Amino acid sequence: MSEPTGPKGLTRRQLLSRATAAGASFVVGAGFMAAPNGAWAMQTTNLKPETMASLVQMARDIYPHDHVADEYYAIAVKGYDTAEAAEGIEAGVAALDAMAQGKGHASYLAMGWERDRVDILRAMEDNPFFQQIRGGLVTGLYNQKAVWPLFGYEGASYEFGGYIDRGFDDINWL
C-alpha cells in the first residue's frame, strides 16, 4: 500500500567506461549499474551494484513483461537501496546466489534461462525476502505512471473531460 517509487535517483547517460559485466542485462561499475545499451544507469549507495542487478533480474522474473524495459524494474526496486534495508537485501540475494551455485551456476544472474531462475524463486516463494520483493513490486512496478501506457492504461481522465466524448463506447468488433 506504499506510494510508488518515483523516478528520482535514476539518470540516463551514455555507456560508462570501466564497466564490468555482471550479468546478461547489466554493466556494473563501482557504485553504479547501467544498461548495456546505455539507455539508463543507476547509482547505488548502500547495496552492492551486483546486488541491485540481481534484484532487477529477480523483479523481472517475478513479473515478466517483455515489452517493459529494465529501467522500470530498476525504479521499482530502487527503494531497497537504503541503510535500513541493505542488510536484509544483501542476505536475500546471497541466498539466491547460493541456491544457484547449488545447481552448478556461478550466481543467480549467471543463470541463462528464465525457467531455471524461476525454479529457484518457486522454491523460496514462501520466505519473507521473496514476499517482501514480490509485495513491493505490486505497487512499485504497476503504479508507475510511466508504465501505464505500455499496457494501454490511460490513467486520470477528469482533466480531459472524462470519456463521454472520447470513446467510452467505441468498441467496434462485437
Partner 1 sequence: MTAPFELSDDSVVVVIGTGAGGGVLANELAQKGVSVVALEAGGRHLPEDYLNDEWASFGQLAWLDPRTTSGDWRVSQDFAGLPAWIVKAVGGATTHWAGASLRFQEHEWKAATTYGNVQGASLLDWPIDAAEMDPWYTKAEEKLLVTRTGDRPGLPGNNNYKVFEAGAKAIGYEGVSTGRMAIQSTPDGEYNMCQQIGFCFQGCKMGAKWSSAYRDIPEGEATGNLEVRENAQVARILHNDAGKVTGVEYHDADGNLQMQKARVVCVAGNSFESPRMLLNSASSMFPDGLANSSGQVGRNYMRHMTASVYAVFDQPVRMWRGTTMAGIVTDESRHDPSRGFVGGYELETLSLGLPFMAAFLDPGAWGREFTSALDLYENMAGMWIVGEDMPQETNRVTLNHDVKDQHGLPVVNVHFDDHPNDIAMRDHAYAQGQAIYDAVGATRTFPTPPYPSTHNLGTNRMSEKAQDGVVNKWGQTHDIENLFISDGSQFTTGAAENPTLTIVALAIRQADHLASEMSKGNL
- Nearer to partner 1 (CB atom), residue 20 or residue 157: 157
C-alpha cell at 6: 518515483
Cβ distance to partner 1 smaller for residue 83 or 171: 171
Does residue 151 belong to the site contacting partner 1 (CB under 8 A)? yes
Decide whether 102 or 155 has the Cβ nearer to partner 1.
155
Q: Is 82 in the site for partner 1 (CB under 8 A)?
A: no
Q: Residue 122: exposed, middle, or buried by beta-carbon count in 10 A (0-12, 13-18, 19+)?
A: exposed
Sole binder of partner 1 in the list 31, 38, 64, 128 (CB under 8 A): 64
- Smallest separation, CB 99 to partner 1 (Å): 17
Residues 129-148 contacting partner 1, CB under 8 A: 134, 138-139, 141-143, 147-148
- Kindly determine how many residues on this chain lie close enough to bind partner 1 according to the rule CB under 8 A: 39
The enclosing H or E element of 36 equals none
- Report the 10 Å Cβ neighbour count for 154: 12
Q: Three-state SS for 61?
A: helix
CA angle 98, 100, 105 (to 5 degrees): 120
- The H-assigned helical ranges of 27-143 are 49-62, 70-77, 83-102, 114-123, 128-140
Task: Say whether residue 46 binds partner 1 (CB under 8 A).
Answer: no
Q: Which residues bind partner 1 (CB under 8 A)?
A: 1, 3-4, 62-65, 67, 118, 125, 134, 138-139, 141-143, 147-148, 151-159, 161-164, 166-171, 173-174
